Amino acid sequence: MTGLSTHVLDATSGSPAVGVEVSLQDASGTELASGTTDSDGRIGKVNTEALVPGIYHLVFDTGNWFADNGIKAFYPEIDICFEVDDADRHYHVPVLLSPFAYSTYRGS
């Protein structure tokens, strides 16, 4: 399995963050793919092809998501920069989101 997936959880409510717009960009900021989290807060395939080794950004439009949900928040956008070193590997980048904090890790 190759490619990239993500999962966004709303830490305040303990539920999936449904409807978060996400953009995959290369190191120069060129958008390669985009999507919106589903009813489980997931995008199972952010991109349709394997990622070649290099630097990428996964950008989460948290500002609009917070506004749409009537939540005052500090982070209008989360930009997670990561490095792909193996094109044959699947990469999973989850986000645990709250109005004044977020965390992420390299998932599996």
| Chain segment 56-69, per-residue pLDDT in tens | 999 999 999 999 99
**How long a stretch of residues is the chain?**
108
Annotated binding residues, written as ranges, equal 7, 42, 105
- Domain boundaries of the chain, sorted by first residue: 3-104
CA angle 81, 39, 4 (to 5 degrees): 30
Annotated binding residues for substrate, written as ranges, equal 7, 42, 105
Position 30 scores a pLDDT of 97
pLDDT at 1 over 70: no
Q: Which CATH number fits domain 3-104: 2.60.40.180, 1.25.40.10, 2.60.40.10, 3.40.50.1820?
A: 2.60.40.180
41-50 pLDDT, tens digit per residue, is: 999 999 988 8
Distance CA 60, CA 79 (A): 6
pLDDT at 32 over 90: yes
Position 105 scores a pLDDT of 95
Q: What is the pTM of this model?
A: 0.95
